[in-house]
Amino acid sequence: METQLIELKKFFDKQVDGYILGDLEVLMKIEPDANYNKGCAIPAAMVILSASELFGTLLTPNPQEKEGAIYLKRFMEDYMPQISVLDRDSIVYNYRHKIMHIFFPKFSGKKMYGVTKIPNQNILIAKDSVYRNLNLVLFNEYFQQAVSDLKTKIFHEKNESIINTIFSNLFDDNIGTTTSTTNQTTIIS
């Protein structure tokens, strides 16, 4: 198990802390202008959504490539339990599916979905008759805590099941996480 922990430490130091959390930190510091534009709220949401899906995939024994939405929901359920079932479903279907494919959350004539850095009390998805706004500040807090909790289970509690599953998934060429987590395009020599 010691070898696995060493490899997982490398992965978390470089990929998770360096790229995922590092990029998210930069994006969260960008302030929107007076019209609430240019705040990089959607790119920050993309990082949280895709990383949560990655963690959900890594935590699943023998994951299937086309089940990402299920793994995202499971990660939120297990590591962000403060998110209600209704909000988890909305995050997957109204935010994740649309943001990852067309950049914007779901929109229709009757309801508009948005992502905002302007906190709205402690409400994750503020709703009125027309708008549904994902509170990115709160979502980021939940995500940061989830990553911290996962690291605790791996590196402090040394949860053997979690360690073995993540290690197996990271180094199994058949499931596709090896290339999706190396992010060679952002490495600077």
Contact 76, 149 (CB under 8 A): no
For 134, the token pair is: 């994902």
CA dihedral 46, 47, 49, 54 (to 10 degrees): 130
Contact 45, 30 (CB under 8 A): no
CA distance 148 to 69: 22
Burial of 24 (0-12, 13-18, 19+ CB in 10 A): buried
Burial of 161 (0-12, 13-18, 19+ CB in 10 A): exposed
pTM: 0.87
- Give the pLDDT of the chain (189 residues) as one tens digit per residue: 899 999 999 999 999 999 999 999 999 999 988 887 888 999 999 999 999 999 999 999 999 988 999 999 999 999 999 999 999 999 998 889 888 877 878 777 788 888 989 876 789 998 888 888 999 999 999 999 999 999 999 999 999 999 999 999 998 765 554 434 444 444 332
Can you state the percent helix, strand and coil of the chain, rounding each to 5? Answer: 60, 5, 30
CA distance 51 to 46: 8
CA distance 55 to 24: 15
Dihedrals phi, psi of 115, to nearest 5 degrees? -125, 130
DSSP single-letter state for residue 115: E
